Amino acid sequence: MSGDNPALLELARAVLSEGLICDHCLGRQFAKLSTGTTNRERGAAIRLVLAMVADMNGDELLKSEIALPKRCWVCNGIFGELDTWASRALERLGDIEYTTFLVGTRMSGLLSENEELLWETTGTDYAEPLKSETNREVGKLMASVTGKEVEFTEPDVVCLLDISHDTVLLQIRSLYIYGRYQKLVRGIPQTRWFCRECRGAGCERCGFTGKMYSESVDELISVKAIEATDAADTTFHGAGREDIDARMLGDGRPFILEVNEPKKREIDLERLETEINEYCGGKVIVTNLRSAEHRMVKELKAAAHDKVYLATIPCAGVDRDTLAWALKDITCEISQRTPVRVLHRRSDLTRMRRVHSALLESFSESDDSAVIRIECEAGLYVKELISGDGGRTVPSLAGALGVEVVVAALDVVAVKD
């Protein structure tokens, strides 16, 4: 820097002329020019070169500018407080389980303004942001104490240094658990159903519970998961959902339970599966619990799962052969407008869905009922396939029979991968 590149020498003098600056902040203005040294080391080297130039030229002004400050005007002394910030972060982490971590910094307005003013005045193109160095240096101190690894893409926890408020905030990465659930009773929704009137606040309509239903598959599964991980809450992601009055049988429906802000990450999933099933008391059963990743949530939601249903229908005045022939008429591509019962929450669209097969599972003349086995494409409304929904679903079983038909009971018996 002394004689080989006068432009860099002038840039260094320009930086120093703005005010007394620490080695970290001086070296950071040239961070992109060299590797293998820290900003502090780079700044000290620049200061040494300029001191020799000042001595050689008898430049008293330069000597005054290169003096080390008691408090740097750019960083306001933050690099003298790195140990303090690292200690605060470790104290904040407490007994939280994590393998990887990352440090982030929320700069105060003053520090951001100082840095931008320096860049604007000197016109340096080689600088590293102040927050980047702060993150790195605090992260190195924490890693040396804990033996944990810094992870930039998906750390278990992010320690956010809030300079303005002199505190450390934590962002704990969610834990994801994949499994399949069976719902063995009717009348339970898949996820929490907040009261439409009060939006969860509690009112007369919901008995001041804030919910339309006292329990859900989501809540039944979550209780033990929250206990096992000491988490704040959970978010339930299902591969579609069955109606509240339908059972989910067979091998169950795939789901991913997102555990929010878990303090414990190392859990025994076999034990958790047992505890969940015991707690659910035969209402819900979970199987095949295993660790999952965040990306799998999107994949689960995007996947189109064909399904198999058993629908029980009344069939007074319809004989077995007529019903069997009518089922052939609905084994085809079906045109469905959004059912009336869900128009309050879904757009009124017409969708084409295919029924792969519709077979008569059983027929009872004694109680005038039949069970139909329907295998169909994802997204088909089976109740409306049976009833016709006032002509919104074509063809329909009611239309094929020429009589009114409704589903008395519905079970999902397979959700295909």
Please check whether residue 384 is in contact with residue 335, taking contact to mean a CB–CB distance below 8 angstroms. no
pLDDT at 2 over 70: no
Please check whether residue 239 is in contact with residue 256, taking contact to mean a CB–CB distance below 8 angstroms. no
What backbone torsions phi and psi does residue 196 show, to the nearest 5 degrees?
-70, -25
User: Which one from 156, 243, 389, 411 is the annotated catalytic residue?
Assistant: 243
Pairing relationship of beta strands 175-183 and 233-238 according to DSSP bridges: unpaired
Mean pLDDT of the residues in the chain: 93
pLDDT tens string 92-106: 999 999 999 999 999
Give the whole-number percent of the chain exceeding pLDDT 70.
99
pLDDT tens string 221-259: 999 999 999 999 999 999 999 999 999 999 999 999 999
Please check whether residue 374 is in contact with residue 309, taking contact to mean a CB–CB distance below 8 angstroms. yes
**pLDDT value of position 52:** 85
pLDDT at 37 over 70: yes
pTM here is 0.86
* Range in 51-60, 112-121, 172-181, 221-230 with the lowest mean pLDDT: 51-60
pLDDT at 412 over 70: yes
Residue 176 counted as an annotated binding residue = no
**pLDDT value of position 305:** 94
**pLDDT value of position 3:** 43
Q: Residue 189, exposed/middle/buried by CB under 10 A (0-12, 13-18, 19+)?
A: buried
Per-residue tokens: 383: 């109740």
CA angle 74, 78, 82 (to 5 degrees): 150
Q: How far apart, in whole angstroms, are the C-alpha atoms of residue 322 and residue 36? A: 84
What backbone torsions phi and psi does residue 139 show, to the nearest 5 degrees?
-60, -40
Per-residue tokens: 402: 């020429």
**pLDDT value of position 145:** 96
DSSP secondary structure letter of residue 186:
S
Q: In sequence order, what are the residues at sequence separation of 6 or more whose Cβ sits closer than 8 angstroms to the Cβ of residue 147?
A: none
The closest of 365, 367, 361, 372 to 396, measured between CA atoms, is 372
pLDDT band at 5 (very low <50, low <70, confident <90, very high): low
Q: How far apart, in whole angstroms, are the C-alpha atoms of residue 326 and residue 288? A: 39
pLDDT tens string 378-406: 999 999 999 999 999 999 999 999 999 99
* Mean pLDDT value across residues 124-143: 95
pLDDT band at 1 (very low <50, low <70, confident <90, very high): very low
**pLDDT value of position 35:** 79
Between 72 and 209, whose confidence is greater? 72
**pLDDT value of position 202:** 83
**pLDDT value of position 209:** 80
**pLDDT value of position 417:** 78
Identify residue 237 by its one-letter amino acid code: H
pLDDT at 138 over 70: yes
Q: Which residues pair with 410 in a beta bridge?
A: 311
Residue 381 counted as an annotated binding residue = yes
pLDDT at 4 over 70: no
Cis peptide before 6 (omega within 30 of 0): no
243 annotated active-site: yes
Q: Residue 41, exposed/middle/buried by CB under 10 A (0-12, 13-18, 19+)?
A: middle
pLDDT band at 146 (very low <50, low <70, confident <90, very high): very high
Please check whether residue 221 is in contact with residue 257, taking contact to mean a CB–CB distance below 8 angstroms. yes
